[in-house]
Structure 1
């Protein structure tokens, strides 16, 4: 089960979570089935073998109590079903202003969040809560919860390439060669998640510098298009178009295949994403991708998956977005052998997590684990 919201990119998450499972041996019941089950006394509870919680954004640390009703209902469902329970990709939801690496070492979850995880823990025979990264896992441990594994995002396995790291390394070198020759690139850019109606000085600072440099990258590219996910993206992009005198080609998607198709059809050299969904779709299309970690949740994800990325300090202090050459120069995690080794490790961890709930990994993913490095 997962929670719906206004982010049109979150279908990417849902699609990835369901594709972890072997489609030949599992029937996935939607959230509405659980709502009906909880309301109807005559529904047979024994029709459910495993509960899978695949909503990421419920461990809110910025505002006490937000989504508490969601966790309370999830807790009720787990207590009612009393079946093996697996969690896919849960994480703390925090901006840089609300959480720092130092805070992580002592920060704890709110009581209703602890109660939720404790209920799930009762129905887990082994660690079966897959969380975004080390920050979330540490905060869970601080709160007395020991079943959290930092495994990144299931979207890492959209591509069924047996050695995605090798493919990305070859294409990355080709992009570097183009830049060294002075050739312009075909780019895909994503709109950052900065709500213009939120009066936050740090967010405004990040939004302004992103607008300046992303617009410059658009204007100096061979060709580019932008990905929008939220309703407020229109307002930000319109301001940037007027301020920096360009016209953006923008796209918005409601399915994974169309998104992936456009990246490939564009002959994209490089995806520069300010959202995790956009970055993972770049990797899904087996295209060199750099993620800009505009908040703490994105940072812990890219670190857990060893994806090339820039921090906001890189952007502000090093000018890492001023030109494409800088983007490539300052990108962290450019070791694609290490990327692939980590990809296999994370996939094995997902397999182990699913097994605790008597769930089978999709066989096409098993081929990745079996393939030589």
Structure 2
């Protein structure tokens, strides 16, 4: 099931913000243009109510976020306390409704997989949100609230896999020390929020692998097969949540990694048979042409579609219709294809040693 909402089509964080680009709508439009997303496969996300979020977020913060949307501004005190009205987390007309819709989509996803299944909620993945404040473009922490809903349904082992370029610090904060949630994160080293070091175990719950600039598909394949999959398999998860941020690809402006979208799709493909319940979210991704392609390909992988070598005219028109103030026209391959060419390369020793250290920890029981 694909979960979306019209709110992503009409709202943005501001003209100069990295999220002033279409993302979820582009993925939806591409999937429909390719014939992959019929009415029976699509659900409109509900908007989560404040009472459903108090398992992680404070009541004061939720009230402040709603008031920020109502007033269109915040006081200096609220800005300082809750991180609202900053350059990263600005007040915009849908500052409450949009993140609450993303959370509603995640909670709906948890309900849909109660008895097994696969759900894609690309508007989710807001993994930096903290209990009492907004952080890193994330006003509400959808992954935390979705995983809490899975646990409330009686599950006792949920694996959280995060391949966003940025470490999911809010999710790690929420589940530090948990024996019910195991976290695996692969993210760029020395990149905001500057957490998730190799030695950071979150009291035994997390396996963090910070990777260097230029991280390529060959290196990712090693990490997937030698770290992510063994850590997940060892946990025997009843459900997996994959945060599939699209900002680790070569063309993204907010990271210095060099993956192709094939790495993300291979992760989806590898995790699918490992659990009866799989929820995949979006996350980061700040190049409008690469994000839509990557997430449309995620849906193709989840729903068993064949990705064509060249986009049909209707899908190509979607890519060509976009503009981006940060860049003129993109490489033609981003307009005419969905799949990137593989971006293979040498596997550096620091990645091998990081994987080896985490494997030794796994073998030692945590």
Fold match by TM threshold 0.5: no
User: Whose radius of gyration is greater, 1 or 2?
Assistant: 1
The structure where helix makes up a greater share of residues is 1
- Please report the TM-score for the alignment, with normalisation by the length of structure 1: 0.30
Higher relative contact order (CA 8 A, sep 6+): 1
- Please report the TM-score for the alignment, with normalisation by the length of structure 2: 0.30
